[in-house]
Chain A
Amino acid sequence: GAVVSQHPSWVICKSGTSVKIECRSLDFQATTMFWYRQFPKQSLMLMATSNEGSKATYEQGVEKDKFLINHASLTLSTLTVTSAHPEDSSFYICSVETGTGGEQYFGPGTRLTVT
């Protein structure tokens, strides 16, 4: 598998501010990383696919100008939630895909609370 870290593990911010979440692949060079969001008692929803050295691919309904993704190296992708609002409060999880089967390994997640 792959070891993935995220920072911070939790963050509280005020409405209107921006928050940056880092996702690091510690033992695997990831040209692609994935960003998911999970609301309480719901499943994971893919937000975007982060591509090293190029633009991210966003899922339908996800605002690319609100959720800025930068994948500047093979080990780091960042997600910036801009002008956060209370409805953006969620559990944000990144993952990398390894292996021939395409299994994904997840970071520990970042819990964002917007007040």
Chain B
Amino acid sequence: GQNIDQPTEMTATEGAIVQINCTYQTSGFNGLFWYQQHAGEAPTFLSYNVLDGLEEKGRFSSFLSRSKGYSYLLLKELQMKDSASYLCAVRDKAAGNKLTFGGGTRVLVKP
């Protein structure tokens, strides 16, 4: 199976940068996804990495190192609305290409 670890909670200041790390173990890696989930709502897709390197999308960037089983989501110029949970999910060929989610990292942005 997959083992996906991410910190439980992080706090940052408005305007700052926060980096959320995710480590995983999988036998048939086939993509890593980041989702944002506000309290009481469903997750929304943020980014996808399948090759090593950095993917940038506006204020959000995601990095992947397959050899290290490691990814991070970088949130720049933090805004109050960025307070949410951020879920790391891995797609595994050995598990029928289903997504397995980490426990999520709750980010609190303070003024």
Contact = CB atoms under 8 A, between A and B. Distances in A.
Nearest to A106: B42
Contact of B45 (A44, A105, A107): A105
Contacts of B101: 43-45
Contact of B31 (A45, A49, A102, A105): A102
Contacts, number: 45
A1 B103 CA distance: 24
Interface in A99-113: 101-109, 111
A108 B30 CA distance: 26
Chain A interface residue count: which class?
A: 10 to 19
From B31, B42, B45, B100, residue with most partner A Cβ within 10 Å: B42
Given A106-B43, A108-B41, A108-B42, A101 B31 contact: yes
B97 interface: yes
A43 B103 contact: yes
Contact of B42 (A1, A101, A107): A107
Interface in B18-66: 30-31, 33, 40-45, 48, 50
Contacts of B108: none
A45 B99 CA distance: 9
A108 to B, nearest CB: 5
Interface in A70-115: 93, 101-109, 111
Given A102-B91, A103-B48, A46 B98 contact: yes
Interface of B: 30-31, 33, 40-45, 48, 50, 87, 91, 96-104
